[in-house]
Amino acid sequence: MRTILPKPGTWYLVLMVAMSPVLGSPAGLWAQTTDLSIELGGSTVSPPIGIEGEDAHFFVAGIRGLRFSPGGSGVTASFLLGRSLQEGAGGDFLSGTVGGQALKQFGNGWAGGVEARGFGFRVADPFPYRSLGAEGGPVLRFTRQNLSASVKGIAGGGWSETELQRTGREPSQLVKDELWRYGGVGEVLAGGRGILAGIAVGVHESSGGRYQSAGLRLLVARGGSALELRVDSWDTPSGTETTGGLAFILPLGGWDVRGFLGRTEPDPLTLAEPGGGSGGLLVGRRLISTGLLSSEKPPLHQVLESSDGVATVEIQVTAPVGTERVEVLGDFTLWEPIPLEADGTRWIVRLEIPFGVHHFGFLADGNWYLPDNAPDAVPDEWGRKNATIVIEAGRDPVPQSGSTEGTEGAVGL
């Protein structure tokens, strides 16, 4: 049962910070599948349109982790602490989110499984607020060449309570809400060479009424960096809202910089309203970053030498019998094919590749090809398998004179 009472503007401000994309998990966009980071930063949020109040400014600190298998199944978790930087606009908060997905490849571009997440949230004075919830559902995806489509069903529930007034240690008025929603979302993306564009739609029934959305998406990924632009129109119980924003992540060695600028979306489950505008920046330090899950398969590449953030890498591959031409392409070639030279049964090329995490694959006589010995192959947004190369500062190059020293410099995962 939902009690419909007006909630303080400061409650919306804090909740929007916790749900903001700048704090979201990027598991679907970057290559690392085992990662643990601490993050520090700040965020500013304006009140929802129609609610008077000052902008809220927060210092944010947290810890984030994720672990994914090559097939796309895995878990993510994040815990955040926010400290209000001024009185009267927002309150200190604590939030935690745990999510995961289990996917199975069916073949012919089809994959399916389930996704789920759980969350907890607490805001301190001046208007204490607490909530717990969980949601999830089935997901079906289709990918082929430069087209990707997905449909997800979502159902969830939870509870929240807000203290509107306090007298001493006891709340004088406590508003309790039973939260629930069910619905679905769909998305179609098309593009290539690390750039995708498309549309997204959704419809949700919730304890607060019906929510419907339609919007545009633009995704750009290069060498571990990623940028997402979203624009949506929402039909909500309180009226029509236009939301959108720009989110990005920029890896810098063992550090990550994340940012967000825009207007957050309404949440049909928590009933959080979109803000007038928000922005934030987080700097994260990776404590554990093992790249993709370990594999005993031999690498397709070796680091020969490195300096000033760039490495000379030799890539070798054995192509199918009868192949007349082999090319390599990846984010380090801007997805432009680079021909390899035949050396007996092997095809070889040497390239200058910057430090970082990169995806790549091969063309054998014009057809996409990835050998069975590709270490830690992962599907891209089209369901096509890619090999992964991780080049980091501090790794010694492979010796060139027959010595066995420094063999840890071979780039393998």
For the chain, give every domain's residue range: 9-291, 301-409
pLDDT digits 0-9 by tens, 55-99: 888 999 999 998 876 556 789 999 999 998 877 666 788 999 999
pLDDT at 407 over 80: no
pLDDT at 249 over 60: yes
Half-sphere exposure of residue 187: CA atoms within 13 angstroms, side-chain side: 22
Give whichever of 17-31, 103-117, 241-255, 266-280 has the largest mean pLDDT.
241-255
Give whichever of 155-169, 171-185, 227-241, 268-282 has the largest mean pLDDT.
227-241
Q: Token pair for residue 62?
A: 């947290």
pLDDT at 239 over 80: yes
pLDDT digits 0-9 by tens, 262-318: 998 888 988 887 767 888 999 999 888 765 444 444 468 888 888 878 888 889 888
pLDDT at 364 over 50: yes
Which amino acid, 358?
Answer: H
Question: Residue by residue, what is the 3-state secondary structure of 331-394?
Answer: HHHCCCCEECEEECCEEEEEEEEECEEEEEEEEECCEEECCCCCCCCEECCCCCEEEEEEECCC
Which amino acid, 232?
Answer: D
| Predicted local confidence at residue 393, as pLDDT | 64
Per DSSP, 9 falls in state H
| Predicted local confidence at residue 104, as pLDDT | 82
Of 408 and 24, which is predicted with more confidence? 24
| Predicted local confidence at residue 381, as pLDDT | 61
State how far the Cα of 8 lies from the Cα of 196, in Å rounded to an integer: 39
Give whichever of 155-159, 160-164, 398-402 has the largest mean pLDDT.
155-159
| pTM score | 0.66
| Mean pLDDT of all residues belonging to the chain | 78
For 245, phi and psi rounded to 5 degrees?
A: 180, 170
Q: Sorting pLDDT into bands at 50, 70 and 90, what band is 165?
A: low
Mean per-residue pLDDT, 35-52: 83
State how far the Cα of 124 lies from the Cα of 8, in Å rounded to an integer: 13
Of 177 and 32, which is predicted with more confidence? 177
Of 358 and 197, which is predicted with more confidence? 197
pLDDT at 412 over 70: no
Instruction: State whether CATH 2.60.40.10 applies to domain 301-409.
Output: yes
Mean per-residue pLDDT, 232-253: 91
Question: Residue by residue, what is the 3-state secondary structure of 236-279?
Answer: ECCEEEEEEEEEEEEEECCEEEEEEEEECCCCCCCCCCCCCEEE
Burial class (CB in 10 A: 0-12, 13-18, 19+), 372: exposed
Helix, strand, coil shares, percent, the chain, to 5 = 5, 60, 35
Residues 6+ apart with CB under 8 A from 96: 77, 78, 79, 80, 119, 120, 121
pLDDT digits 0-9 by tens, 287-299: 887 654 444 444 6
Sign (positive or negative) of CA dihedral 57, 59, 63, 67: positive
By residue count, the chain amounts to: 413
Nearest Cα neighbor of 99 from 130, 71, 134 is 134
pLDDT at 386 over 80: yes
Give whichever of 106-115, 166-175, 323-332, 377-386 has the largest mean pLDDT.
323-332
Provide, rounded to the nearest whole percent, the portion of the chain with pLDDT above 90: 32
Provide, rounded to the nearest whole percent, the portion of the chain with pLDDT above 70: 73
pLDDT at 107 over 70: no
| Predicted local confidence at residue 226, as pLDDT | 84
State how far the Cα of 301 lies from the Cα of 347, in Å rounded to an integer: 12
Q: Which of 133-137, 139-143, 249-253, 383-387 has the lowest mean pLDDT?
A: 383-387
CATH class of 9-291: mainly beta
